[in-house]
Amino acid sequence: MSSNAITIPGGRVEGKPWVDTLHEWVATVDHKRLGMLYIVYAIVFLVLGGIEILIIRIQLMHSHNDFVSPQVFNRMFTMHGTTMIFFVAMPVLFGFVNYLVPLMIGARDMAFPRLNAFSFWLSAFGGLLLYFSFLGGSGLYGAGNAPDVGWWAYAPLTARAFSPGHSSDYWTLAVLVSGFGSIGTAINIIATILCLRCPGMKLSRMPLFVWLNLVMAGMVLIVITPLSAGQIMLLIDRYLGGHFFDAQAGGSAVLWMHFFWIFGHPEVYVLIIPCFAFMSEIIPVFSRKPIFGYPVMVAATICIGFVSLSVWAHHMFTVGMNSYANSFFAITTMAVGVPTGIKIFNWIGTMWGGRILFKTPMLFSIAFLFQFLLAGLTGIMLACVPFDWQLSLSYFVVAHFHYVIVGGILFALFGAFYYWYPKMTGRMLSERLGKWHFWLFLIGFHLTFDVMHIPGLLGMPRRIYTYEPGRGWDTLNLIVTIGAFIQAVAILVFVWNLVISYFKGAEAGNDPWDAWTLEWSASSPPLPYNFAKVPVVASRRPLWDLKHPEDPDSQYE
């Protein structure tokens, strides 16, 4: 869009040497480039974490399998969990937030561009540290080459006696470093949203995407930090001979569990709230209606933010807390379902009576609504303490939280990819490949995670590397493994789509979806300074006002 561009005399030099391009990317402080770096980095780790889970699934395909040793199996599920949460889900969401928030609020960059770059490289360095443990984790003891303590790293597994060598140190440092990166990004997001909004963009006019990510960033400040504190204590224990989690000196293993889950449970909401944010942008655009219940959506999100801080010990019902604590955490866990239900109601309210366009982003969004509801329902089941006593540490729990993370977070993310890829690259993703990706992934997902509930109910525990025949688990596990491979094929289709569409996709133009938020008024991809003139807004849907001057939203505010 020429009218939106500043002409720089003697501007672009064609045919730059690749070293210059590389240097530009490494030294960049531009929020859009950092956003893309986050996303590409997360996709690399998604493939790594995916390979690890395929190894696990091959091992569990039938009883008495010996594809990998028990030691390797432990390393694989530890690395899979740590990778997927800290080095896939967090960075990819931060990538989208980084890319989109300044564009949506009409700013030219984040509040602290250099802090932004610093945070990204901290996270990236954390991921490298984690994977370097495959090479450097043996230390002087020849014991273990990758972390094998589980992603929750319960004490005393992490004590020097049970975890010699350096693999646990790599795990601790990787998580600590990426945590600092997350805190830096969260500070940056909040400062950007509060201080850099364009004229007219009152808090009550911000797109829901921005609102929800403001809440997410606020949560990051208080939930990532307990994990950092716990990791510092663990380092003190391992390196300075401290006794925080050393039961022989009076320390408590349960305290680590508390510190870990004070982080661990709200973390799920840190991951899902940006996905709610994606939904709140995609569903209205593809239903051709404004979002239903904007103020209630904001209130429900803030409510989730608060309530989710007091639910963590539902991960610990089997530890043996007293019945008052059990009741408290059961009630809060069920209560957090209420604002979440309000949100699902509002999204359905948005779709109700709308002219729904079944493009790929919308397909993923509808699947998200359906699956996230089911995931929430098994969550409510597990919030019942006696039920949890029966099924905690079984595959039912594994199926539940993968339903949240894959069926909820990953589906929402795929929707976001299809929705914003045109903005980021200037090219549309192929709808044909997108449909293939969607249906393959949907079938694979349900084959894997619907079926996975059943061995859990039959009593199959988590984290076992193999099992006896004759328990009725074999066929179910085989189906789960087949589903996992179908998902892997779908991911390959997706990555292929990302690559091929970058070169051969249809030209997107500035506003391919006829959307209403400010990012679609910038060119695709946006210029380094985003907006030649800082926009001024008068309503929640500034582009609607622009396209329909005879009936702008602003006259109803």
Partner 1 sequence: MTAAAITLPEQQPWTLPYRGKVAMACLIIAESAIFTIFVVAYLFYVGKSLTGPTPREVLETPIFFTICLLSSSLTIHFAGKFLEKGKRIAFLSLWSLTILLGGAFLFGTGQEWHRLIYERGLTISTNLFGTTYYSLVGLHAFHVTVGLIMLLIVAIFAFAGRVGTEHTRRVEVLSMYWHFVDAVWVVVFTVVYVLGR
Residues lying near partner 1 in the complex (CB under 8 A) are found at 1, 3-4, 106, 111-112, 183, 186-188, 190-192, 194-197, 199-200, 218, 221-226, 228-230, 232-233, 236-237, 240-244, 249-252, 255, 259, 262, 510-511, 518, 521, 531-538, 542-543, 545-547, 554
Nearest CB to partner 1, comparing residues 501 and 517: 517
- How many residues are recorded in the chain? 557
Inter-residue contact 396 to 421 (CB < 8 Å): no
CA pair distance 101, 393, nearest whole angstrom: 39
CA pair distance 343, 335, nearest whole angstrom: 14
CA pair distance 508, 118, nearest whole angstrom: 32
Nearest CB to partner 1, comparing residues 200 and 337: 200
Nearest distance, CB of residue 505 and partner 1, angstroms: 22
Q: What is the end-to-end Cα distance of the chain in Å, rounded?
A: 30
> Which DSSP string corresponds to 40-51?
HHHHHHHHHHHH
Nearest CB to partner 1, comparing residues 248 and 323: 248
- Which tokens in the block code for residue 318? 């089997």
Inter-residue contact 553 to 540 (CB < 8 Å): yes
CA pair distance 487, 446, nearest whole angstrom: 10
Inter-residue contact 32 to 423 (CB < 8 Å): no
Angle between helices 208-240 and 90-104 (to 10 degrees): 140
CA pair distance 410, 405, nearest whole angstrom: 6
Nearest CB to partner 1, comparing residues 57 and 108: 108
Nearest CB to partner 1, comparing residues 194 and 457: 194
φ and ψ of 507, to 5 deg: -60, 135
Nearest distance, CB of residue 240 and partner 1, angstroms: 5
Nearest CB to partner 1, comparing residues 432 and 533: 533
Nearest CB to partner 1, comparing residues 3 and 7: 3
Nearest distance, CB of residue 222 and partner 1, angstroms: 5
Nearest CB to partner 1, comparing residues 440 and 537: 537
Amino acid identity, residue 10? G
Q: Which residues contact 285 (CB under 8 A, 6 or more apart)?
A: 419, 513, 514, 515, 516
